[in-house]
Structure formats: C-alpha cells, structure tokens
Structure 1
Amino acid sequence: MTKSTLYTNNRKAEELGFKMFVLHVENNHFDKIAEDAIKKHEEEILKLKEINKENTIVDSEVFYDILFREEELKALSEMKIIYSYKHFETSLKFLLNSSYKDLDKSKLYKWETISDILKIKKIDIRKLDCFNDIDELREVNNAIKHDAILKSRKIPVEFKDKDHLSYKDILTFYNRVEYAPVAFLKSLHDKIIIDRYQFDENRLEELVSQIEKSMEPKIAIEFANKILSKY
C-alpha cells in the first residue's frame, strides 16, 4: 500500500467515525426509562384520585401517596433535563477530543473555553443550530442542580411569571428543547468536517499566506517537499 493510499484510507476512516458519532448522539437511553416511569405514576395518581372521589372522608394514606407520586414526577422531569444535558456534554467532549487531539481535556468542562476553542477554528458557537435552546438547557440544568430552577440565569418562556413549577411545566420545556442537542452536535460535526478536511481556494491561499509570512524561502521549500513526500 502506498503512502498516498494509506493517508486517504486514514482520512476516510476518520470521516466514517465522525458519521457514526452522529448516530451515537441520538441514543438517549434514559428518556424511555423516564417516560415509562412518568406514565406509570400518572396512571396510579388517576386511580388514587378515583378512590378519593368514592370516599366521603379523604383517605390520608391515599392523599400522601398522591403527593409522593407528584414529587416523583417532578424529580423524573428534572432528571430528564439533567441527563439530556449530561449526555450532550459527554458527546460534545468526545467530538472535540476526537477531532482535535491537542486539546486540554481538563478545560472542556467550561462553556466559555469550548466557545474560545471553536473560535480559533473559526467556528462561531452562537451560529450553530439550536444554540439558544442548548444555552437554556445548560442554564436550567445548572439551576436544577442547585435546587433553584426558577432562579435560572435564563428563564425559559415555559417558566415565566410562575412562582411554582409543576412537572408538566418542566416537561413542556424539555419537549421544546429535546432535539436541540442532536441538532447542535450535527451542526458542529459538519463545521468540524469542513475545518478538518475541506480546503477551498481561499483557505489554501490563507495557509500559504501564513507560511509565507513566517518561513524563509529555504524552509518553505523544505516544508513543501516534506508534504509532497507524504503523498
């Protein structure tokens, strides 16, 4: 196998890996578990309320069972958000680490750092698909972790003007942003493919200009020969 063929195969393998990554992103295992649990609690609450209707005196055991299940519903709705963002965050780090081997992995937990990294690659994070939804999801996730969901720095429209949130309010927000992580990551994935593998005339001119400004002619020729030797 020639060097040229080897490099071509390696690039194709990497591109295929990126495409497979997108399939992985769509695989949110917790959602189905949470949905089944939510449905079960809702059905049980309806049954318990029917029992209370039939009784002339409110059954305290039934009453507290309903309260408990309502709290469970709220917890499950919050967990859907927490898991969704964690799943997104893990996938985002994986995509960046796989794409750019020289990144400092320890700094990828900061949203601002990720934004700066992408800016260097000429990828504007704010222009990626569903950025605003992801930003809301991130803020609500952080607020839930601090038990202050109504004090999120970005208040979703579903939470505005409310002193108390029901699990349905939280699920309404979740349903709106549910597919944002996939859309965002696919959009970023496409930008990374362009950055890694696509070199149009303008980009080639830009690279040549950078080399021209920083290398002496002798070094530039040696550099060009080394590139040619790889193909």
Structure 2
Amino acid sequence: MNVLHIDSGILGDHSVSRRLTAAIVAQVKRDHPQAQITYRDLVADALPHLTGAHLMAANAKAGDIDARIAADVVTSATVLDEFLAADTVVLGAPMYNFSLPSQLKAWIDRIAVAGKTFRYTETGPEGLARGKKVIVASTRGGHYSSGPAAVMDHQESYLQAVFGFLGITDIELVRAEGLNVSAASKATAISEAERTISGLGALSLAS
C-alpha cells in the first residue's frame, strides 16, 4: 500500500492539522506496517501557482520552453506521479478565510489534469483516479459543520467536490473545529479528532 502524506498548515509546530496528519499516518503504519509513505510539505516546499505559460508548455517544443517553466513542468509531473501512485492520501487541510490554504490549492491544480485524473466525455466528466481513499484532517477556528456558518464552508465542501470529480468517493473526514473559540474548545476538538483517528484502524484502507 502506498500512502501519500500531504501537509499544508502554515503554523509549523503550532499547526493542529499537521498534528492530526502525523497521528493518522502513525495509525496507518501501526495497522499496515508494510505501507510505503511519501511525504510532501506544501509550505516548506511550496509549488508555484499555476500559470498560462505552464499550461501552454504541455504542447510546446522543448527548445521553446525557458528553464524556469521547464523545471516547473518536471515538478508538476513528479507531484502528479506521487498522487497517481498513492492508494491512500492523508491530507492536512486547515480552513483559512472559509477556504483552503493557497499552497494546497496549488497542489490540487497540479493533480487535476485532463486526460490524467479526469476526462470529458459526451455524457459528462469522468474521474480517472478511482479506487483511492482520501483521509482529510480538517481544522477550523470556528464551527462550520452545522448552524448558520455552514454556508461559509468552502473548505470541506470543495475538497469533497474536487476529489469526487476525480473519481474518488471514499473520503474520510477527521475534523477538529472550534479551535479558536476557547482553550477548552480547542482541547475538546483535538481530543475528539484523536479518538476518531484511533478508530481508523477498523476502516479498510485502499490497497
């Protein structure tokens, strides 16, 4: 089993999403010692945001591409290959301003590739990345899973939509929200998330 571990929290050791992804991967390794882990830190090794020049390079001759774009194309291919090779993706996804970290969006733009992870057909789009499992460590400062603020959730809803578009329907959410409400709320949210993680061993992972 190949596991791709992705972090996108910008707070380093203070990041709850990083704490949770580490716990998820540790649980996976305990239950599946043979698992091969590939790690990508989208903050320490940030991907450039997608550009028109990058998209045009796909159909350009090698000699017509400058060195910077050529290197970016190579990086994109590596990122896509990591995703395609993964059976299970463990994704740290904090909510920033009701959505995703821009670093995580840059990664998604490198894996959502027509002809590789999805295609358009006469009957509509078809996801080509079927059979994978995605475990999302979702962290939020407030409460967005229900109540009046739920309409502002463009984090979990977006991730479910984009992975669904790629053909992935096995998506497990490990959520810690209300982290900025109070110290007690934060402690409770993290404790509940860690209990969820301890139960992941009972779930079947993609293999």
TM-score, structure 1 as length reference: 0.21
Larger proportion of strand: 2
Larger proportion of helix: 1
TM-score, structure 2 as length reference: 0.23
Bigger-Rg structure (1/2) = 1
